[in-house]
Amino acid sequence: MLNARLSVRNVSWLALALGGILPGQAVAQRVDDNVIANADDAFGQSVGSERVGLYSGEDIRGFSPVDAGNARIEGLYFAPVDRPPNRLIRGNRVRVGIAALGYPFPAPTGIVDYELSVSSDSDQFTVGLERGQFGSKVATLDSQFAIAPDLRAYVGGTIRRQNRHEGGNFKGNVASAGLGWTPYAGARVFLFYGMNHIFDDETPPSIFPGGDYLPPQIKRRVMIGQSWSDRDNMQQVYGAVAKLPLGSWRIEAGLFRAERRGDASFTDVFAGLRPDGTVANRVIVADANNLDRTLSGEARVVRTFGDASLAHRVTASFRGRTGDRRFGGVQRISLGPSSLNFADERPRPTFAFGPDDTDDSGQATVGLAYTLSRQGRFLVDVALSKSRYYKTIRFVSAGLTTAVRDQPVTGSINASFNFSPDFSVYGGYVRGFEEVSVAPAIATNRGAVPPAIRTRQIDMGLRYALSQNLTLVGGLFEITKPYYNLDNALLYRDLGASSNRGVEVSVAGTVRPGLTVVLGNVFIDALISGELVDSGVIGPRPVGTVRRRTIANIDWRLDHGQSPLSFDMSFEGLSSRIGNPSNGLLAPPRETIDLGMRYRFAVGPARALLRLQVANLLDDYGWQVAANGAFQYSAGRRLLAEMRFDI
């Protein structure tokens, strides 16, 4: 409960003194780890496989920071191709609103900052055994130990045999390793490697209703895909981070390589679904030999001077990335009339893939940031960046090459002011230059990525200490950017401009010893504008968006926080979700409740944890809607059981 236990008086000074990074102190999942008890706001945080908050790495204020290219590793710029392997990363923190104050070079879509497992200073040997949803089996290992007084090593891994809630299953193996070197006091250097291999991954259906009606309720846990449509993907992430204090100067640098190979990929498309669950033509989109890789990094020189009465920080940064992708060459296999109501197995076809398309891109950014702070009174952040950007896409089959070059100037100004030790206000303006998500499988230009776009964010809010350990944060925001989605010809392209305006509220902290709450609510008014909306071709609201998300998380550890036994409850409520481009279809509201308990005990010299949870306690049946309009039913009630051992 870092921020919840600090008075507002200290927020501005600490953000400056710690270099704006504030990475948190949670280690890879140990017996005492508890994401609810450790969260300092309701905006988004994860530890190991546990997550809490309104937002995540996939969704901040209605947009994906990962798709937008707004990811960091240990505070340094990182261009991911997918979510990093879970053992390589011990957790992440969402940087948005007041949580982004003091953070260098913020972004309109928010930032997700990943923490390396190897960055912990504690010795560890933790083994986890989990019975996951519907009989899934997971085994994990996290180990960290000293090789020499100034050298530490981390080794971790996961073996997963997962049963899907849509029926079918997949297998996954994760391996990660790292070295942490302390050349002198306060300095840290990390080397790391992580791998995630997902295979025998049976493809669930992608459902697109043919009108303004919901799909029929499908029987859960029945595999209705094709037995031969198993996906196979390999992801690797490796790199190095150095943070070297030199008196009032500090040098920070990171270099990261991310790669994802898709040896086999399938999408099972039920387009034009009728109310009775049948389609006139079921299509399998088969793909293979895909590659997506990036080389990215950042180097910073930071100079701090002054004192608590007036402190200064100047940051000079160079960020860069290159990316190359191999995609396309897909084969569309027509299965003819079919149904969602039973397993309609078809013979395995002969695959004949076309030539691959390619996508090469790069960006180099020079930035300068300045922070001025007076302890207990105010903090002001100003940043300015200039980039050089290029993207070249070659569609081999069409004989078409598109090339884009740009030199955007981006910047931000953010500030907070403390009226009293318990009350402060903040506000800011950010202009960004961000990537666009990949065209979905149903698109005629599947896999294509449009050029980067200019974005803008305005936000403001307040923080109020309800008590010494309980904090309220409320804010207003508006994010504007071009809107990309499918047109009537299923071409993924610019359809207009989008604007997400919203109100967000967070209450987090300790109500009394042993009782912790994380409460949050966000209302988003997402709108599209442009010629297609004016002419009635598409509706005014983006597909897949919700107007409201509400969360309530409670963790109660008995005996004023000293008991080995604790209970937790998580509630999430979602308003109706826009289901198609015309806005004539709405997926109904959903509410889910999870109940869990933890019991800590000893097994010989080892400390152990028994974790039990019933997810979706009321067995709510609802529909999730992707941004491209694909429907998928929610997971049913399931029991999760886990044992962890700190040896």
Burial of 423 (0-12, 13-18, 19+ CB in 10 A): middle
Is pLDDT above 80 for 10?
no
The one-letter amino acid code at 198 reads I
Confidence of residue 459 (pLDDT cuts 50, 70, 90): very high
Is pLDDT above 70 for 22?
no
Distances (CA, A) of 503 to 60, 189, 477: 13, 40, 7
For the chain, give every domain's residue range: 3-646
Determine the distance from the C-alpha atom of residue 168 to the mean position of all C-alpha atoms in its chain, rounded to a whole number. 25
Beta carbons within 8 Å of 79's beta carbon, 6+ residues apart? 69, 71, 256, 258, 294, 296, 321, 323
Closest residue by Cα to residue 486 from 434, 538, 521, 551: 538
The answer to whether 636 and 621 have CB atoms below 8 angstroms apart is: yes
The answer to whether 101 and 91 have CB atoms below 8 angstroms apart is: no
Q: What is the mean pLDDT of residues 203-217?
A: 93
* Distance separating alpha carbons of residues 630 and 201, to the nearest angstrom: 19
Enter the DSSP assignment of 119.
Answer: G
Rg (CA), the chain: 24
Per-residue confidence (pLDDT) for residue 20, from 0 to 100: 32
Per-residue confidence (pLDDT) for residue 39, from 0 to 100: 86
Number of H helices and number of E strands within the chain?
4, 36
Q: Can you give the pTM of this predicted structure?
A: 0.88
Beta carbons within 8 Å of 33's beta carbon, 6+ residues apart? 26, 27, 47, 48, 50
Closest residue by Cα to residue 93 from 61, 115, 125: 115
Per-residue confidence (pLDDT) for residue 19, from 0 to 100: 34
Give 485-502 pLDDT, tens digit per residue: 877 777 888 888 999 999
Unique residue bearing structure tokens 């300092």 = 40
Q: Is 76 left (phi over 0), alpha (psi -120 to 50) or beta?
A: beta
* 388 vs 397, higher pLDDT: 388
* Distance separating alpha carbons of residues 161 and 171, to the nearest angstrom: 5
Distances (CA, A) of 347 to 225, 316, 441: 12, 60, 22
Alpha-carbon dihedral of residues 488, 491, 496, 500, nearest 10 degrees? 100
Confidence of residue 396 (pLDDT cuts 50, 70, 90): confident
Give the β-pairing of 638-646 and 606-615.
antiparallel
Per-residue confidence (pLDDT) for residue 4, from 0 to 100: 34
* Distance separating alpha carbons of residues 94 and 504, to the nearest angstrom: 14
Per-residue confidence (pLDDT) for residue 369, from 0 to 100: 96
Confidence of residue 86 (pLDDT cuts 50, 70, 90): confident
Phi, psi of 585 (to 5 degrees): -120, 130
Closest residue by Cα to residue 107 from 410, 483, 520: 410
Per-residue confidence (pLDDT) for residue 335, from 0 to 100: 93
Q: What is the mean pLDDT of residues 462-473?
A: 94
The answer to whether 215 and 221 have CB atoms below 8 angstroms apart is: no
* Distance separating alpha carbons of residues 327 and 446, to the nearest angstrom: 8
Confidence of residue 149 (pLDDT cuts 50, 70, 90): very high
Enter the DSSP assignment of 585.
Answer: -
End-to-end Cα spacing for the chain: 26
Tell me how long the chain is: 647
Range 3-646 classified under CATH 3.30.1490.20: no
The answer to whether 372 and 309 have CB atoms below 8 angstroms apart is: no
Closest residue by Cα to residue 238 from 261, 256, 214: 256
* Distance separating alpha carbons of residues 617 and 444, to the nearest angstrom: 40
* Distance separating alpha carbons of residues 86 and 479, to the nearest angstrom: 30
Alpha-carbon dihedral of residues 11, 15, 17, 22, nearest 10 degrees? 120
Phi, psi of 378 (to 5 degrees): -160, 165
Closest residue by Cα to residue 277 from 357, 365, 198, 218: 218
* Distance separating alpha carbons of residues 457 and 434, to the nearest angstrom: 12
* Distance separating alpha carbons of residues 640 and 612, to the nearest angstrom: 6
- The pair of structure tokens assigned to 430 is 């950010």
Per-residue confidence (pLDDT) for residue 35, from 0 to 100: 87
Is pLDDT above 50 for 457?
yes
Beta strand extents in 203-248 (DSSP E only):
205-209, 230-246
Say what percent of the chain tops pLDDT 70: 95
Is pLDDT above 60 for 16?
no
Per-residue confidence (pLDDT) for residue 627, from 0 to 100: 86
The answer to whether 289 and 233 have CB atoms below 8 angstroms apart is: no
Closest residue by Cα to residue 379 from 9, 6, 12: 12
* Distance separating alpha carbons of residues 5 and 22, to the nearest angstrom: 15
* Distance separating alpha carbons of residues 100 and 379, to the nearest angstrom: 12
Is pLDDT above 90 for 305?
yes
Per-residue confidence (pLDDT) for residue 25, from 0 to 100: 32
Kindly report which listed range (20-24, 307-311, 464-468) carries the lowest average pLDDT score: 20-24
Kindly report which listed range (166-170, 283-287, 565-569) carries the lowest average pLDDT score: 166-170
Per-residue confidence (pLDDT) for residue 606, from 0 to 100: 87
3-class state of residue 9 by DSSP: helix
Per-residue confidence (pLDDT) for residue 437, from 0 to 100: 79
Q: What is the mean pLDDT of residues 345-359?
A: 89
Per-residue confidence (pLDDT) for residue 15, from 0 to 100: 32
Per-residue confidence (pLDDT) for residue 7, from 0 to 100: 34
Give 591-646 pLDDT, tens digit per residue: 999 999 999 999 988 899 999 999 999 999 999 998 888 999 999 999 999 999 98
- The pair of structure tokens assigned to 125 is 């040997």
Per-residue confidence (pLDDT) for residue 166, from 0 to 100: 85
CA contacts within 13 A on the Cβ side of 545: 26
Give 230-279 pLDDT, tens digit per residue: 999 999 999 999 999 999 999 999 999 999 999 999 999 999 999 999 99
Is pLDDT above 90 for 18?
no
Per-residue confidence (pLDDT) for residue 209, from 0 to 100: 95
Average pLDDT, the chain: 89
CA contacts within 13 A on the Cβ side of 579: 23
* Distance separating alpha carbons of residues 106 and 228, to the nearest angstrom: 45
Say what percent of the chain tops pLDDT 90: 63
Give the DSSP H or E segment for 561.
helix 558-561
Is pLDDT above 70 for 368?
yes
Enter the DSSP assignment of 452.
Answer: P
Confidence of residue 424 (pLDDT cuts 50, 70, 90): very high
